[in-house]
Amino acid sequence: MNTSIIIDNLLHPPVLFFFLGMIASFCKSDLKIPEPLPKLFSLYLLFAIGFHGGVELHKTGINHAVLVTLGAAILMAAIIPVYAFFILKIKLDAANAAAIAATYGSISAVTFITAITFLETSGMESGGYMVAALALMESPAIVIGIVLYKLFDKQVNKDESSASEPELHGFSWFKVLHEAFLNGSVLLITGSLFIGLVSGEKGWDTLSPFAKDIFKGMLSFFLLDMGIIAAKRIGDVKNTGIFLPAFSIIIPVVNACIGISIAKLIGLNMADALVFSVLCASASYIAVPAAMRMSIPDANPRLYIPMALAITLPFNSIVGIPLYFYLITLFWK
């Protein structure tokens, strides 16, 4: 493997700011991003990638290839949590296995943005419809995770067999589905995508100074904050032994390889194949934890949040994306 690919990614400013945040936390520095700026950075990034993706989708249009890709994205978001759940069940109870499986079946917008930035540095650009794939892959894993929990958790089955009401212990499918499909991150990126699609080039000319010119600066501040948080939470996973940290690294690579195979099968170009594989390999630490706290309260957030945020996110950003790109260059040659 060409090590210069990894080095170039490591030396990219947003990634370096992520490291700076981790160093600040490890050194007990008082460096921090004051609230509510981290939330603003997150909203900005979702808006910017959604709007830009909509504009690009306006250029290319919605054709058969786009629909096939989006269908493959939804399929992966539904399949990954199933086999991840049964792997995790080897060591964990149904609640924690389901929550972690949903986390790894869903996606990370930050990892997606890092992949897009990596492509730009390499002089490549993915199709705008990949933003639609990002939005569509957020929710299915949440629903699948909850279904697996309800099917395999003995206590839930016992409670349901003795209850006649459709809502048990505050659990409501309406609330779960509302959180899965209408949570803030999904709604913002989907809405921005639609606005970009409708407004097209004229809309881009209007908003590009805000949506493009300051994008990498906002991303750098956001990753600085992510680095601080990740370093603080990594200890929670280290205390669980080798199984969960190993899972946090191995399963993204497995998912990415499956994604690369599907991308080759459906005829994606190299740039789109990288983004697709990165979506398959990423793990959610925003939308899924919000849904899991409500729908699977027995699951321990000190496991699934640090796994996604403190291990998988840095691994994908530093090693995973260059590795997946290298594999794609081999297959596409």
CB neighbours (10 Å) of residue 198?
11
CB 107 within 8 A of CB 76: no
Mean pLDDT calculated for residue range 65-86: 94
Q: Does residue 159 form part of some domain?
A: no
**Does the structure show a pLDDT above 80 at 2?**
no
Q: Does residue 316 form part of some domain?
A: yes
- Supply the range of the domain harboring residue 311: 3-24+34-154+171-332
Residue 155: pLDDT band with limits 50, 70, 90: low
CB 70 within 8 A of CB 132: yes
Q: Taken in order 126, 119, 218, 251, is the CA torsion positive or negative?
A: positive
Q: Does residue 166 form part of some domain?
A: no
**33-37, 57-61, 90-94: lowest mean pLDDT where?**
57-61
Q: What is the pLDDT of residues 175-234, one digit of tens each?
A: 766 766 676 666 787 788 889 889 988 998 999 888 888 888 888 888 888 788 778 877
**Bigger pLDDT: 287 vs 55:** 55
**137-146, 147-156, 205-214, 247-256: lowest mean pLDDT where?**
147-156
**Bigger pLDDT: 327 vs 186:** 327
CATH code assigned at 290: 1.20.1530.20
CB 117 within 8 A of CB 148: no
Q: Does residue 214 form part of some domain?
A: yes
Q: Does residue 75 form part of some domain?
A: yes
pLDDT of residue 166: 47
Query: Exposure of 5 by Cβ count < 10 A (0-12 exposed, 13-18 middle, 19+ buried)?
Result: middle
Q: Does residue 45 form part of some domain?
A: yes
pLDDT of residue 167: 47
| d(C-alpha 178, C-alpha 331), whole Å | 40
CB neighbours (10 Å) of residue 246?
11
Q: Does residue 163 form part of some domain?
A: no
pLDDT of residue 173: 67
Tally the domains of the chain: 1
pLDDT of residue 170: 53
CB 36 within 8 A of CB 222: no
pTM of the model: 0.78
Name beta bridge partners: 171.
168
CB 9 within 8 A of CB 118: yes
**Bigger pLDDT: 250 vs 311:** 250
